[in-house]
Chains A and B, each alone.
Chain A
């Protein structure tokens, strides 16, 4: 991947007719999205009773992820912001009901009706401010709040995401927790740059047995048991079952966010039209212990 699509244009512009067609006809992309969707469904851990459920596919695009839902025997509603992607879904006669909508504006669904939600490679888009009116935090809040409400109690949401960096992952996770979800991040193949994939596994409602976060997949030969070199920050599972924890964690991190983070924040504020001091060699420089 040369550059992140998220940095090139807003999703409804990036996924135009040409890109939507290119995306959907690439067998490489189809194979990856199918694998991600199958894993997401596995993590969704629906009861194995043969009853078809009503699922939600957030950022369903042209329906690659939805086809996997159909194959597993469930019904789905798909939401996407790109007209072109949905048109390709129509052409491909996907089984799901399609909605044109922006998850950052909240999901327009009745409370408690959805038995489970998946989202494949879409939620990280919320971290961008594509319009002057976009405030990523507000959009994340609207999204997770409405997702929490439309899910039946005890239902899960599994969101496979490509955060640009640690800060984005923390941001997404913290808004999920604030909305009342319990859960955490499952990382598959944490030691491989190419295969590494992250899934937010969220459960609606009070923590219970079912909110325990499953463990990630590792490459053959790699062990994931206790004898794995500890102290390594790349855990397979970052388990946060208590929703106060991320906030505590944030405080600890406060000291060491680093120059890159500060520069990015300043850029963000500038984009919003705020007056921000220029970046110099002093920006975010470490202070002496005493001064």
Chain B
């Protein structure tokens, strides 16, 4: 679910995360996928998101893409934060307006009220 947290934007990015419950799921690691998505990640947002979800083992500064080839340990952590941590209950908060998008059963509710469209 983290990928949608990272990418979910309403009229501001990144959305802040309010955590009530995080679940972990095991996902098979795939290097090609990680390599492809790495370049699209906003590292700061990703780092912060992982931290609030209770995973603080990522480097604060965006690492050089070459670590994807050389550092298996990093790859494992990146994979874990990206694909195995899921925000089950909580909210995503728009940094600009403070508007909260509730997350229930792992599904963020991004529906806008009529006056927000």
Partners in one complex: yes
A interface list, Cβ under 8 A from B: 50-54, 75, 77, 81, 86-87, 90, 97-102, 105, 108-110, 112-113, 115, 131, 133, 142, 152
Residues in A neighbouring B90, C-beta threshold 8 A: none
* CB < 8 Å neighbour of A110 from B13, B105, B107: B13
Residues of A within 8 A of B107 (CB): 86, 90, 98-100
Please state if A110 and B42 are interface contacts (CB–CB under 8 Å). yes
CA A101 to CA B7, docked complex, whole Å: 14
Known: A77-B3, A142-B117. 9 other contacts (CB 8 A): A52-B30, A52-B32, A54-B37, A87-B105, A90-B105, A100-B110, A109-B9, A110-B9, A113-B40
| Chain B interfacial positions (CB closer than 8 Å to A) | 1, 3-4, 6-10, 13, 30, 32-33, 35-37, 40, 42, 105-112, 114, 117
Complex CA gap A108/B40 in Å reads 16
- Residue contact B8 to A115, C-beta cutoff 8 Å: no
Residues of A within 8 A of B9 (CB): 108-110
Separation of A289 and B3 alpha carbons in the complex (Å) = 62
Cβ contacts A to B, 15 pairs, < 8 Å: A51-B32, A51-B35, A52-B32, A75-B3, A86-B107, A90-B105, A98-B107, A99-B4, A100-B108, A105-B111, A105-B117, A109-B8, A110-B9, A131-B114, A142-B117
Report the separation of the CA atoms of residues A93 and B113 in the bound assembly, to the nearest whole angstrom: 29
B111 touches A90 (CB 8 A): no
Interfacial chain A residues near B13, Cβ < 8 Å: 110
Closest-CB distance, B90 to chain A (whole angstroms): 14
| CB <8 Å contact, B8 and A50 | no
Q: Which residue of B lies closest to A93 (CB)?
A: B25
Q: Which residue of B3, B8, B37 is within 8 Å of A108 (Cβ)?
A: B8
Contacts A51-B33, A113-B7 given; indicate if A100 touches B40 (C-beta within 8 A): no
Residue pair A52, B111 in contact (C-beta under 8 Å): no
Q: Which residues of A are found within 8 Å of B30, using beta-carbon distances?
A: 52
Say yes or no: A115 contacts B10, CB within 8 Å.
no
Assess whether B33 is in contact with A99, with CB atoms less than 8 Å apart.
no
Contact flag A52-B7 (CB < 8 Å), given A97-B1, A98-B107, A99-B110? no
